[in-house]
Amino acid sequence: DEIDYGLLLLDDDGCVVHANHAARSELEGAEALQLAGRELRTRAACDSALLSEALAGARRGLRRLVTLGAAGRRVSVAVIPLAPASGDGGQATLVVLGKQQMCGHLAVQCYARSHGLTPAESRVLEALCDGLDPRAVAEHHGVGLATVRTQIGHIRAKTGAASIRELVRQVSVLPPMVSTLRLAA
């Protein structure tokens, strides 16, 4: 639960033996995958064969990356075979759910704080990481385009980013962060 990626551990029969908080949370509202008891299933019948093939491949030691779901609501899933923990011959499989957003809110806020960004600059950075262009950020925040451009200039100066693209790249490669508030609950 300390890792902010959806992780599922399946036994050699394909039954889920562990799903971390991120996986359970993502699967509750997911349109591509679901947990049915201890079974990981696709919601769409057409995706079932893809997942079954990937899980079967993992039992043979093969790694797979599959994309499931309908356009606009697709999820990429890495299926990774794990070495048996003992000589009993049982092999576990790790299923890693793809990220649903490029930059998590907490990571953006930590990055902003570590670089001394103001609250307004932090909001602009978060909007840029959500894929908005400067004009859309200005409209979304109800300020002028010149104000947003000035804020972007300040953000770039504080972070050393040569461009908006470089700034978003810096944030997108941050390690995933789990909120201590969620863990406390």
122-166: pLDDT as tens digits: 999 999 998 899 999 999 999 999 999 999 999 999 999 999 999
Q: If you average pLDDT over every residue of the chain, what do you get? A: 87
pTM beyond cutoff 0.85: no
> Per-residue pLDDT for 183 more than 60?
no
Phi-psi region of 154 (alpha: psi -120 to 50; beta: other; left: phi over 0): alpha
58-68: average pLDDT: 93
Q: How much is the pLDDT for 179?
A: 56
pLDDT-derived band of residue 1, with 50, 70 and 90 as boundaries?
Answer: low
143 DSSP assignment: S
With vertex at residue 27, the alpha carbon angle to CA 25 and CA 32, rounded to the nearest 5 degrees, is 150
Contact (Cβ atoms closer than 8 angstroms) between residue 125 and residue 113: no
Label residue 113 exposed, middle or buried (CB < 10 Å: 0-12, 13-18, 19+): exposed
Q: What is the mean pLDDT of residues 57-75?
A: 88
